[in-house]
Amino acid sequence: MPIPPPDAPFDPGSPDASAPDAPAPSRLQLPPGPWTNLLDGVCARFPAIGRERWRERFARGRVLDARDGRALDAAAAYKVGLEILYFREVEREPRIPFAERIVHADERLLVVDKPHFLPVAPAGRFVAETLLARLQRRYREPDLAPLHRLDAATAGLVLFSRQRASRGAYQALFRERRIDKRYLALAPPLPALAFPLLRRSRIEAGEPFFLMREAHGEANSETKVEVVSRGPQAWTYALYPVTGRKHQLRVHMAALGAPILGDRFYPLQARGEADDEDFSQPLKLLAQSLRFVDPLDGGERRFESGLAL
């Protein structure tokens, strides 16, 4: 397994970045159903994708047998339980003109500084322009997988597993809260509050569907907030999430009365999710450091981002 050098940048405009077979495939085990051929089955499973689009994907070899990587025929018999691989495709996918940087690499882990605006994994209108897809096509490692997620708007450290055998041990660090995460945020001053403080609240899905909100009820989220520096117009805060709810830091800072600078959603602005990003106005939130005891060798691991707010 090749180990990329630390601090290695990636040129998102390089020829390899746009390789047509670059994104990793998605996996599907065919569920029970009345379909006689594969084309009918996948069309029923993914009704938002037109029949002709699926037919064309089969013809280009973009639907494979997961056992041997063999291209499947659209007219092949539908077999319940068969695992297939298919490649998600998005027309006119926006390009993210910022590069990630390798912070650390060994045989088990890859630590990467993610730029603002780049999603970690394929979702919605982004497939090739994601951190995972970029790394997979750089190093051709099908087992590469993120151990946690950052919002596309947030910059900073993302930890990747490079081996299936050790992945569960590292995933347990996050599940069992045995990893210390420190974020930096730039937000308006809060002179009336005493720091450090602990924000605990219940966070639930809000409206529109892509937003979260604080609600009444038992707390399911917790963030420790400290002040790092105090400027006349904005303060730098250190944020330590105890839990990992979606948009937790953004929701908590907005609820305290200091929405993070550059935040398009908290408080909710007039712009919608599908609007084009303004690359000149990034969210001032950075995943600055990760610290944990390695579950395999017992050594202390600490990684720090090279990015600035």
Minimal CA–CA distance to 285: which of 239, 244, 254, 228?
A: 239
Q: Which of 21, 68, 143, 151 is catalytic?
A: 151
Minimal CA–CA distance to 306: which of 187, 184, 188, 186?
A: 184
Tell me, yes or no, if 275 is annotated catalytic.
Answer: no
Phi, psi of 38 (to 5 degrees): -65, -40
Distance between CA 291 and CA 277 in Å, rounded? 32
Distance between CA 128 and CA 125 in Å, rounded? 10
**Which element (helix H / strand E) includes 168?**
helix 164-175
For residue 181, count other CB atoms closer than 10 A to its CB: 22
Distance between CA 56 and CA 182 in Å, rounded? 46
Instruction: Tell me which residue has tokens 């995943």.
Output: 287
Residues 6+ apart with CB under 8 A from 50: none
- Residues 254-263 as b/e (b if ≥16 CB within 10 A, e otherwise) read bbbebbbbbb
What are the CA-CA distances from residue 140 to residues 1, 126, 135, 145 (Å)?
10, 19, 8, 12
- Phi-psi region for residue 249, left (φ > 0), alpha (ψ -120 to 50) or beta? alpha
Query: Active-site residue numbers?
Result: 151
